[in-house]
């Protein structure tokens, strides 16, 4: 079974600074998708960014970008110019085929003013 590991249960960053959240996954497949979801205290799961495994170019969404290392099975999330509203739980997720999405245990990000 595919597994997703987030090795940092908690991280903190100073407002306006940059932080990187780590994620590794285990798979023998070559075609799959990776996601980062944000879960603020409201509990709503919000998609932050998505990466297709067949694309070498790293995905970027405004202040959020990923470092996708397919050979190393690593998918880290970089948040630039951190804002107070970025404080949340962040979940990395892997999806290979229909309806089979696996989540990591999450990283709690604190943003210090």
Partner 1 sequence: NAGVTQTPKFQVLKTGQSMTLQCAQDMNHNSMYWYRQDPGMGLRLIYYSASEGTTDKGEVPNGYNVSRLNKREFSLRLESAAPSQTSVYFCASSETGTAKNIQYFGAGTRLSVL
Interacting residues with partner 1 (CB under 8 A): 4, 32-33, 35, 42-47, 50, 52, 91, 93, 95-106
Q: Least distance in Å: CB of 97 to partner 1?
A: 6
Q: Smallest gap, in angstroms, from Cβ of residue 100 to partner 1?
A: 7
User: What minimum distance in Å lies between the beta carbon of 113 and partner 1?
Assistant: 27
What are the structure tokens assigned to 104, written together?
């990591």
Question: Which one, 5 or 12, has the nearer CB to partner 1?
Answer: 5
Compare residues 99 and 113 and give the one whose CB is closer to partner 1. 99
Closer by beta carbon to partner 1, 16 or else 46 = 46
Other beta carbons within 10 Å of 85: 9
**Nearest-angstrom CA–CA distance, 20 and 27:** 23
The Cα–Cα gap between 55 and 81 comes to 26
3-state DSSP assignment of residue 62 = coil
To the nearest whole angstrom, how small is the minimum distance from the Cβ of residue 21 to partner 1? Answer: 14
* Nearest to partner 1 of 7, 18 (CB atom): 7
């Amino acid at each position: 079974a595919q597994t997703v590991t987030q090795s940092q249960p908690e991280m903190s960053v100073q407002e306006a600074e940059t932080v990187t959240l780590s994620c590794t996954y285990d798979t023998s497949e070559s075609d799959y998708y990776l996601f980062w979801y944000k879960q603020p205290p409201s509990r709503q799961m919000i998609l932050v960014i998505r990466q297709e495994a067949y694309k070498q170019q790293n995905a970027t969404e405004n202040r959020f970008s990923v470092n996708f290392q397919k050979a190393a099975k690593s998918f880290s999330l970089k948040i630039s110019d951190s804002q107070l509203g970025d404080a949340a739980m962040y979940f990395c997720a892997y999806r290979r085929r229909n309806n089979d999405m696996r989540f990591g245990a999450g990283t709690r990000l604190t943003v210090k003013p």
